[in-house]
């Protein structure tokens, strides 16, 4: 496996034998190293575990604890020159990343994690790489344990062949390595945009497999997957392999192409079950085993008998993996507060009045506004269509907001007007943002949905 060196000023790279300082702690389970700043993260990025008996083992058996949100952008990587083999506890905090390595492979906050744990952590910002790109872990491998992880960052890959790209995790490669088993991923969610024109791309995980199977459970995508519809691309997992175990996987997010599979992009795994996607948000043409449901069929506790106790349920909301409290952030609540379209409609073709959820009192009231006046929203959430064309609905909770674009066609009371006769000459992306020069993905132009390749 190829790893890339990161060249930092010498002052940031303590020698192999130099004592670690951080913001405190001794690295034990009872007294973990304290991570409180970008400087502490840089110090951790200099610690290296290399394979082979007698080689450097600086993180193996060590514990690290994030004590607060890191708002200053962190531009480096942890475990870049070798493996990360310690335990990193994010304690529910968020790290702001700005990692731009577009010509490099294995790019993410953590490069390669082997026999180590990363958990209870959120990431926001931007991550750009070539192959094996994931906001939190680029390449977990044998016996990595990843759980309670949330991505809000934009993840971008420049590669156009098999790329291994996901919102939380890029590509899991577990090989025959003595008695070591596969990686375990559970209770993770993506809310960011994943953009790549290559294959093996997913909202949460791009690829999983090789000689030793991995266990993936209770993960969900709520974000946006932008892809031309290459092979092995899915709303939640792009390419799980035959010896993986996949259970309780869901996609509630949106996609740029009907060529992207609704939930998983490959049907090889033999131990697979409880695979769902929202057909009204993620309309697709792929024939991959998964159960498609209308949005309204998945709200409240309707999925509790299928998804089980590892998920959080609330009236008026989509289920969320229980991620140690990370599922209760304002953005997580917003993405789980849906638009409830009429049966037969989807975001690309709204033909009837609908309903918007205002959330649940336990998490605060979500307010909705319509940008273009084509939808009139009442206090009870009733959304009456008043015209044809592109409409952008914005949901707000506290300081957080998100926008969803709908294409309204054949609106009630004006059935003689067709969508393709709405002409303002502008181009809009799926988020309702006007663009001057469309490159790839789904756009709305003169009232028509157009896929730019």
pLDDT for res 177 = 79
DSSP 46: T
| DSSP sequence for 12-24 | G---TTSPP-TTS
pLDDT for res 101 = 96
Residues of the chain with pLDDT under 70: 1-20, 51-55, 267, 289, 410-437, 439-451, 453
- Taking phi over 0 as left and psi of -120 to 50 as alpha, with beta for the rest, 441 belongs to left
pLDDT for res 289 = 67
pLDDT for res 178 = 77
Q: For residues 423 and 447, is the Cβ–Cβ distance under 8 A?
A: yes
Q: Which two tokens stand for residue 55?
A: 């080689």
The residues, any chain, with a CB within 8 Å of residue 413's CB and separated by 6 or more, are none
pLDDT for res 11 = 32
Q: For residues 156 and 188, is the Cβ–Cβ distance under 8 A?
A: no
pLDDT for res 420 = 44
Handedness of CA 433, 257, 154, 273 (dihedral sign): positive
pLDDT for res 357 = 96
Determine the straight-line distance between the first and last CA of the chain, rounded to whole angstroms.
32
Name which of 54, 56, 120 is nearest 83 in CA terms: 56
Handedness of CA 382, 305, 309, 242 (dihedral sign): negative
Cα 177 from Cα 185, distance rounded (Å): 19
Domains and CATH numbers, the chain: 10-335 (2.160.20), 339-452 (no CATH)
């Amino acid at each position: 496996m190829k790893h890339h060196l990161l060249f930092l000023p010498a002052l940031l790279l303590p020698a192999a034998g130099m004592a670690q300082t951080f913001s405190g702690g001794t690295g034990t389970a009872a007294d973990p190293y304290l991570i409180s700043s970008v400087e502490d993260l840089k110090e951790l990025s200099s610690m290296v575990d290399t394979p082979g008996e007698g080689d450097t083992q600086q993180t193996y058996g060590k514990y690290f604890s994030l004590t607060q949100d890191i708002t200053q952008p962190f531009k480096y990587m942890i475990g870049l020159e070798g493996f990360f083999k310690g335990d990193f506890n994010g304690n529910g905090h968020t790290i702001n990343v700005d990692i731009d390595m577009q010509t490099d492979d294995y790019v993410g906050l953590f490069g390669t994690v082997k026999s180590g744990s990363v958990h209870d952590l959120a990431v926001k910002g931007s991550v750009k790489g070539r192959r094996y790109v994931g906001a939190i872990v680029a390449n977990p491998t044998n016996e990595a344990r990843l759980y309670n992880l949330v991505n809000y960052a934009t993840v971008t890959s420049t590669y156009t062949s098999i790329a291994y790209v996901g919102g939380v995790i890029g590509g899991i490669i577990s090989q025959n390595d003595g008695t070591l088993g596969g990686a375990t991923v559970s209770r993770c969610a993506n809310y960011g945009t994943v953009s790549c024109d290559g294959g093996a791309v997913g909202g949460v995980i791009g690829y999983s497999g090789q000689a030793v199977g991995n266990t993936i459970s209770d993960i969900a995508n709520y974000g946006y997957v932008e892809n031309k519809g290459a092979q092995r691309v899915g709303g939640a997992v792009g390419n799980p392999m035959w010896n993986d175990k996949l259970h309780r996987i869901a996609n509630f997010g949106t996609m740029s192409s009907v060529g992207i599979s609704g939930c998983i992009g490959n049907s090889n795994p033999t131990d697979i079950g409880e695979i769902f996607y929202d057909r009204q948000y993620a309309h697709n043409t792929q024939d991959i085993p998964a159960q498609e449901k209308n949005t309204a069929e998945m709200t409240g506790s309707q999925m509790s008998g299928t998804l089980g106790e590892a998920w959080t349920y609330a009236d008026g909301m989509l289920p969320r993996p229980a991620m140690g409290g990370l599922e209760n952030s304002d953005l997580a609540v917003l993405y789980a507060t849906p638009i409830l379209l009429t049966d037969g409609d989807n975001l690309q073709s709204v033909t009837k009045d609908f309903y918007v959820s205002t959330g649940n009192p336990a998490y605060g009231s979500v307010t909705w506004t319509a940008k273009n006046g084509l939808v009139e929203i009442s206090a009870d959430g009733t959304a009456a269509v008043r015209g044809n064309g592109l409409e952008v609905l914005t949901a707000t909770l506290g300081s957080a907001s998100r926008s969803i674009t709908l294409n309204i066609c054949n609106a009630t009371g004006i059935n003689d007007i067709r969508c393709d006769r709405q002409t303002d000459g502008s181009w809009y992306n799926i988020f309702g943002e006007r663009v001057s020069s469309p490159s790839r993905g789904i756009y709305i132009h003169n009232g028509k949905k157009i896929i730019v390749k």
